[in-house]
Structures are given as structure tokens and as C-alpha cells.
Structure 1
Amino acid sequence: MQVDVFDLREGDQLTSDVFNAHGVHILSKHAILNERDIAKLVQHQIDEVSIYPRSRSSHLSTSPATDDPSSSNKTTIERINAEILPHFDNAVNGMVHLFDQIRSGDAITEQQLEQLVDPLIQSIQKQRDSVSLLLLLNSENDYTYQHCIQVGMISYYIARWLKYEEAEAQLIGNCGFLHDVGKSRISDDILNKPGRLTGEECELVKQHTIFGWELIQKMKGDCPEATVALQHHERSDGSGYPKQLTEEQIHPYAKIVAVADTYSAMISKRAYKEERDMLDVLKELYALSFTNLDPTVIHTFIHHMLPNFIHKRVKLSDDSIGEIIMTNPKDFFRPVIRRDGAFLDLSEQKELEIKQIFM
């Protein structure tokens, strides 16, 4: 029997192969459909397909999916809170202590850094849902210290996604953890100032790259962590600081940490800044890949983040609620949405935008 694609149910079985308008094979004869298959049909603008009478597959699930996505999200939240949050909080507290130690004139050791971040790295190695992780581990408190830890975590993720070996990925993560250590020489009154900084204060804050390089050099000598501390605000078009380096002059690790640093600064909750939606931030980050941040690093980051949005609930621009069920390879930011049992391909429904993503 012929069925409109929007009337399909999970468990329906095709009686023939399905091809799109360009002759590309989409699904095979006898395929038993799940929600991803249905979404694929919608995405390829298939109007209707032929399925066996539903009595033939009555032993299968023949009702539309009604699982509450918040249930799996709740499980993710509980797991992160139990397995990772204690290590994250310990790392933040350790970073506070490290900054205070530097301010008091005491040297820091590599062993201290290992004790601070190794348990966190080990806990996030098994965490697949990086979107949930990065949304949860973010609050208005202790911004500078949380930012350091978050940048280290993101740098580690990106390095692994770029196919760096584990040991080198951990080194790149350490570069992220230490990238802002030079801010330990700047007072919290300036770092946490709710209003706009004066010109003099801005110039002082920019010095944190040099301060960090000096501190790490003193601790470890010439090393990637020192180079990244110095270069993480350099930009490929020469617009960065402190040395206005261009693309070929910037260390590859610094390019990774620069993307992690920029993303974390954009997404973080701060008392004087309105919270931003993650998808909106990723769009802005994507735009920067065509100007002054490394495109390979950014596109790799976005490519690996977007699949984690599948099954996240969203609010659309018409205030309706839906669920992301499939990413769109042709347009990162316009996925397929399930809403009220129907499938919406936002690459076709141009009048709709994702307004907010829920945990």
C-alpha cells in the first residue's frame, strides 16, 4: 500500500527500493523503517512509499515514537553529575589554588598540574555526549578558573577528533588548561569587572599571554604549553596579539586552543553577559573559520559536536517544540526535526529557525 511519508510509522516495511529524484538509492526493499530512515526519506523529498500492510508487521513497533527525550537526557545529566562533576569541581578548585600560589610568589610544578587535571581527563575520555557535558559544566561562578578547565577539556576533545594520539592529545589538553595562567598576575577586580575595561586595563589583560609564557618557561623551560600561552590570541590574518603572527607562524596546538578558548568565552554564563544558545555560538564560530581562526580545527569541532544534538529537544522560531532526529550534511545548522509526529527538514522549511536547544 502507498503511504505518505509523513504518515509512516516505525516498524513499517518497504515493498520496494526507494530512489530520490536524482536516481540515488535511498533505502532497500524489505527495509524495516526506524525514525532515522523516515527522516532520510523526508530529507530526500520523497512524497510517498510503498509498504506492506501493517498487519504483516504487527509484531513490530507500529506506533509513532513517543519516547520522552528528556528521559535519556536526564540519564545523561545524572551520569555526568556522578562521574565527571566531582573531578571538574576539584580541577576548578585546584586552578584557584594554583593562581593563588603564583600570586603569592610560589613556583608551581608539573606534578601539581598532573594531579589537577589527570582525573578529569580520565573521566571525560569515556564521555561521548560532549554537548551535554559542555552545557552542564558551565556556571557564572569562578569564571576565569572554570574557563581554564573548560578550554583544556575542549582542546583535548578537538585533538582526539583531529586524530592526535592519546599522549599528544593530553599534552594539547594541558596547553588548554594552562593557556590563561598568566591572568594570575592580574587582579580579580579587573578580570571580573562587570563593565567595560578602560584602555589601560585592556592592555594589562593582553599582557597575560606574555605573563603566562614567562611563568611556564620558569616551570618547564621551552615547551608547547609556554608557546600556547603566548600564542593563543594570535590570529591567522595577523590581527591577534602579542606579536601579530600570521597563520604559518602560529603553533598548531595554539590554533586548537584558540578555537577552544573562543568557543568557551562565547558560551560561558557571566553575570554581565546574556547567556547564548550553543547552536548560535557554533554558527558564529563557523563564520570565524573564514576570517581569522583555523578552518580545519573549527570544522572538525562543529562536525563532531553536531551529532550530539540528535534527540535534543528544541524550541523553534514559531515557539513550537520539536526534537532533532537527523543532522543535515549540506547545512550544519538546519537539521531534520520531529514535531507533533511530523518531520520537518529545516533546510527546506526556510521560515523556521532553531531558537533554543534544551538539555
Structure 2
Amino acid sequence: MRFSVMDLKVGDRTGSDVFNWNGLLVVSANTVLNADDIDKLQRHDIDYVDIMLRYDGKSPEEKPAAAIPQENETARTYEEAVGGIKLLFQQMLQEGKISKELVDQSFAPLANHIEQEKDVVSLLLTLNNKDDYTYQHSVQVGMISYYIAKWMGKSEEEAVFVGKAGYLHDIGKSRIDNNLLQKPGRLTADEFSQVKRHTEYGYEMIMKSQLPEPIALVALQHHERLDGSGYPNALRSQDIHPFSKIVAVADIYSAMISNRVYQQKQDLLRVLKELHQLSFGKLDAKITQVFIRHMIPNFIGKKVLLNTGESGIIIMTHPTDFFRPLIQINNQFINLSDHHELEIQEIYMR
């Protein structure tokens, strides 16, 4: 049944995907709406929404998501996943293999929790301020890979599998000297050759652990590129496993939005633009476009810091230039598509 957005209640469940006038996904089907969801629908000028089930204020199984404190629970499951990947690195280093049980115990709770999280941008902004880059990166790549798989229409089971592959994609780094991984300056050619071996080490270790081969192939191939410019085997598009193509997008995005010893993080929107450019020959275009299309609506309402030092709020995205949105600064509206001298330096939570 269709309801006016103005008549929506916290706890209503959507019956179908909701897109804005520009074709961007605003809210997914089967979403239990919270106050932020309803506000987002209004900001996107959505008039009507298909509602599958109305919240009656009584049924406990339909308790509104907004009434449940999610932030602490999200942070807790995220930290547990980080602790889990640390244990897996240690186990791999000590035993040369990892246990399937520990992998499941480490990643499954996170996957179960983030299934209900819809604003991935807020999730990344909240959790993307940690140390231990290698471990944090592994968890983020697992999360993002899971979301991409879901957005591509894959089943929950398959999305969890892809997320798990992303979670383990860098496990081969357990055999790389940590001083090399943490080196603040540019690597020499020999040092880079050593680091690149993590892909082969990961494949060997995962196969030795008797985990499914596609997970091992992701560890081996996540640095391959469609045009043959990647490593370790300079594979081209048709020879790269589909899951490896998903994790490649997640890997690059997480790496670029994170602080590393040799590189400052970049803002989440600018990195999406760089991914878009990479989709012309290096990354799978369909996967990259699905990721961008589902991420863009989540930037609405986020605060930004411009290169002028001014702060504003993203009001809406431009129909032909997603990466230069309409910004509100106090009572002034600025279309960044018309002001190329202005750049977003940072995006953060309100």
C-alpha cells in the first residue's frame, strides 16, 4: 500500500526499493524505517512510498530501529571482528593455517549485525578512526564486500561468503615483515616485490586451511586489474574470479579512506570519484557503478569542510555530477558543479 512520506511512522516497513528522481536508491525494500530514513526520504523529495507493514506500536518484533541503541553494538561487533582478524593473523603465522571455526566466529557476528545497517557512509565515518591499519582494513573490506554483494542482488548466504573472502583477503601479510608493512617512506623495488608476495602467501595458506577455493582466489587476485596491469599474474578481466573483482573495489576504497603510515586518508566522496575513473579499464564497471549508486544517497545530510575553511551540509547530489553536490552554508546554497574552485576537504558526521 502506498503512503505519503508525510504520513510515515517510525517502524513502518517498506515494500519495495525507493529511488529518487535521479534513479539513486534512497531506501531499500524490507527496511524498518527509523527517523533518519524518513528524514532522508523527505530530503530527496520522495512523495509516496510502498509500505508492506505499518508499525502498530505494540508488536515487539516490529520495534522501531530508532528505539534500539545501535552505535555501541556496532562498535562492539566491529572491535570483535578486528580482534578476530588479529587472532587469525597470529594463528596463520604460528601454524601456517587458520581454522574455519575461528573465521566464522570472527566474521559472522559482524555480518549479522551490519545486515540491518543501511547508512554505510555513517558506518565508515564512525568506525574509520582507528589504528592497526592492516587489521582495520581487513574488517572494512569484509564489510564493504558484503554490502556490494547484497547491492548486486546476491543472496544473504552468498553475500556473507563474499564478505568473508574480503575479510581474509590480506591474510598473506601475516608472513610479511611488519617493519616493511609499517615503513613510512616509499618502498624500494625489492621491498615492493616482497610485499606483493602476500597475495601468493594468502592463496597458499587458505588452500592449506581447506577453506573454499574462491576465498583463496580472492586473496590471490584482489590486486589484479581488468587491463592486465595488476599483480601477481597480470590477469585480464575474463581470468579474474567475480568475487575478486568485488573485493578489489572494496580494497581500494577502504585503503584510500584510511590513514596509513605513508598516506593521509582522503574524503569518502572524492575516493568514489577516483573509483569511477578506475572503472574505465581497471575495475569492473558494473560492480563499481553499483557501489557508487548505493553510496551516494548516504552523503545527503553529512557535514563537509571546504578548502576555504567553511563548513556546510550536503543538501542533494547533482544529477550529472554526483561528486560535486549542492552544499548549504548557513542560509546560502552553493552548487559545487558551478564553483570548481571549491573542493570538499573532509566529510564528517553532523
**TM-score between the two structures when normalised by the length of structure 2:** 0.77
Q: Which moves more between the two structures, 265-274 or 93-102?
A: 265-274
1:213 deviates by 0.7
2:55 is matched with: none
Q: Does 1:255 align with 2:245?
A: yes
CA contact (8 A) 2:100 2:211 kept: no
2:116 is matched with: 126
Alignment equivalent of 2:319, drawn from 323, 326, 329: 329
The 3-state SS of whatever aligns with 1:193 is: coil
Instruction: Tell me the matched-pair count.
Output: 291
CA contact (8 A) 1:216 1:225 kept: yes
The 5 Å alignment of 1:170-181 reads 170-181=160-171
Post-superposition CA distance 1:295-329 (Å, at most 9, x none): 11111111111111111112334433221121222
Alignment equivalent of 1:190, drawn from 180, 184, 199: 180
Alignment equivalent of 1:356, drawn from 338, 346, 350: 346
Alignment equivalent of 1:158, drawn from 144, 148, 153: 148
The CA RMSD over aligned residues, in Å, is 2.4
1:129 deviates by 1.2
One-letter amino acid of the structure 2 residue matched with residue 263 of structure 1: Y
One-letter amino acid of the structure 1 residue matched with residue 223 of structure 2: H
2:333 is matched with: 343
Post-superposition CA distance 1:93-112 (Å, at most 9, x none): 11111111111125321111
Cα distance in 1, alignment partners of residues 182 and 315 from structure 2: 40
Q: Does 1:210 align with 2:205?
A: no
Q: Does 1:284 align with 2:238?
A: no
The 3-state SS of whatever aligns with 2:209 is: helix
Cα distance in 1, alignment partners of residues 43 and 103 from structure 2: 46
CA contact (8 A) 2:312 2:328 kept: yes
Q: 1:182 to 1:82 in 2, by over 3 A?
A: same
CA contact (8 A) 1:87 1:120 kept: yes
1:301 is matched with: 291
CA contact (8 A) 1:228 1:253 kept: yes
Cα distance in 2, alignment partners of residues 164 and 115 from structure 1: 22
Unaligned runs of 5+ in 2: 1-5, 7-20, 22-41, 47-64
Larger Rg: 1
One-letter amino acid of the structure 1 residue matched with residue 175 of structure 2: R
**TM-score between the two structures when normalised by the length of structure 1:** 0.75
Q: 1:37 to 1:339 in 2, by over 3 A?
A: farther
One-letter amino acid of the structure 2 residue matched with residue 130 of structure 1: V
1:345 deviates by 3.0
Q: Does 1:84 align with 2:74?
A: yes
Post-superposition CA distance 1:243-293 (Å, at most 9, x none): 111011111100000010111111111243223211221221111111311
1:104 is matched with: 94
1:236 deviates by 0.3
1:137 is matched with: 127
Post-superposition CA distance 1:110-166 (Å, at most 9, x none): 111000011111111111110011122223521111111110000001111111111
The 3-state SS of whatever aligns with 1:104 is: helix
